Structure 1
């Protein structure tokens, strides 16, 4: 069995939550956050009908396009996250359905900082 990373992709939600936005919600400030974490802004998905599987589906579609392969060629989908859509079914199975990867198995790895 041979495996290799042959393409990468990302999905960034369109909405941003800046440190200045956080200052309005909690007792903190931009300097405190930046100096301790390096974070200036974070991308957020505001649409309540979309979650991790949606974002993974967008990435998967991009990767399929970049590699010029069909979803039917995928054999395994692994999702590593701390924020699954739900605990059952696995987010990987939801992504399998989104991209129509009918021949793929799928499972999630749920771990902090995954």
Structure 2
């Protein structure tokens, strides 16, 4: 239902840093490379995207951060829903509360 791009991300900067309650995203490195950090509240994984014919499907309830952008990297994101600010969880502590994971376990 929505498509957007991330581009011209300065070196050392991150994007993302949130989770969604409903929205699914397919993330593709249309150009260059970057890492996607995925966190379900208990385990973190890093997926490196560097080929335009691979995509990463991120389901709702997963905290995501994008970093380590190469020069000229372009991230193509296909989203299952239109933009809805209420679907975002922007604070990691709120994310853990919604997942019912005590901060002391992190």
TM-score normalised by L of structure 1? 0.23
- Structure ID, larger Rg: 1
More strand per residue: 2
TM-score normalised by L of structure 2? 0.24
